[in-house]
Amino acid sequence: MNEILGGLGEALRLVVTWDAEIVAVTWLSLKVSGTATFLAMALGMPLGTLLAFGRFPGRRLCVALVHTGMGLPPVVVGLAVTLLLWRTGPLGAWGLLYTPTAMVLAQLVIALPIVAGLTRTALESLDPRLRLQAQALGATPWQTLVVLYREARMPLLAALMAGFGGVISEVGAVMMVGGNLKGATRVLTTATVTETRQGHFDRAIALGAILLVLTFLVNWGLTRLQERKGRP
């Protein structure tokens, strides 16, 4: 019990004194997961839109695949990306293994189905008359899309946050493709593992607490958005 209380006190001190290593680790976590989420949005929103409104053979299969991907185990993604990025692997020439870029890549694979799947759900749950009405008023396809995105902006933002929440708390993939290199590819989750292993419980608790606060903020934001959606 003393260890836990002492750890919490020390954790608070590390955060308050702006411990350089912990700040760097937190910043890298935000950068990697933020970039992965941004890219997942850039690719996942068009994909989700296509799945919601497109009519093409194999659409159902694609939807099923995306939904499966929403629960993709991060360690499997980590393994797959590692195999691709080995020096002797197909993408080995890029020299990306154990870099933040590799971590972004792995997290993109994790976040993409989440963003695409939730985008599809968000757009499909819109009143279909909205689309017809826009078209009847002479809107071009692009204008119609803008109208629909605006109408679904809250669930779309929720999709983004779900993607971000999924990758920032993920440990398996970043551990494998990033290698958990101190000062280079160590993020909040992998640093927590390392510090616990080495018996630095105070630092582990500090890192865990920061991660907890970040995921709380994301989920709090999500809930706020969902509540606002209910009101006019």
30 is a contact residue toward another protein (CB under 8 A): yes
C-alpha distances in Å from residue 178, one per residue of 78, 106, 171, 172, 213: 9, 9, 10, 10, 23
The angle at the Cα of 23, spanning 216 to 196, to the nearest 5 degrees, equals: 75
Shortest CA distance to 126 belongs to which of 143, 153, 151, 158?
151
Among 184, 212, 213, 217, binds another protein (CB under 8 A): 184
65 is a contact residue toward another protein (CB under 8 A): no
Among 100, 113, 165, 208, binds another protein (CB under 8 A): 100
Residue 123 vs 160, nearer CB to another protein:
160
Among 2, 88, 129, 142, binds another protein (CB under 8 A): 88
Residue 19 vs 67, nearer CB to another protein:
19
What span, in angstroms and rounded, lies between the C-alpha atoms of 135 and 1? 65
Classify the C-alpha dihedral 192-40-185-22 as positive or negative: negative
95 is a contact residue toward another protein (CB under 8 A): yes
35 is a contact residue toward another protein (CB under 8 A): yes
104 is a contact residue toward another protein (CB under 8 A): yes
Residue 35 vs 192, nearer CB to another protein:
35
Residue 99 vs 192, nearer CB to another protein:
99
Residue 43 vs 65, nearer CB to another protein:
43
Distance in Å, CB of 116 to another protein, minimum: 17
CB-CB contact of 218 with 161 (8 Å): yes
What span, in angstroms and rounded, lies between the C-alpha atoms of 95 and 83? 13
Find the part of the chain contacting another protein (CB under 8 A) among 49-57, 95-103, 128-136, 206-214.
95-103
93 is a contact residue toward another protein (CB under 8 A): yes
92 is a contact residue toward another protein (CB under 8 A): yes
Binding mask 147-166 for another protein (x = CB under 8 A): ------x---x--x------
Residues forming the site for another protein (CB under 8 A): 28, 30-32, 34-35, 37-39, 41, 86-88, 92-93, 95, 97-101, 104, 153, 157, 160, 179, 181-182, 184, 197-199, 201
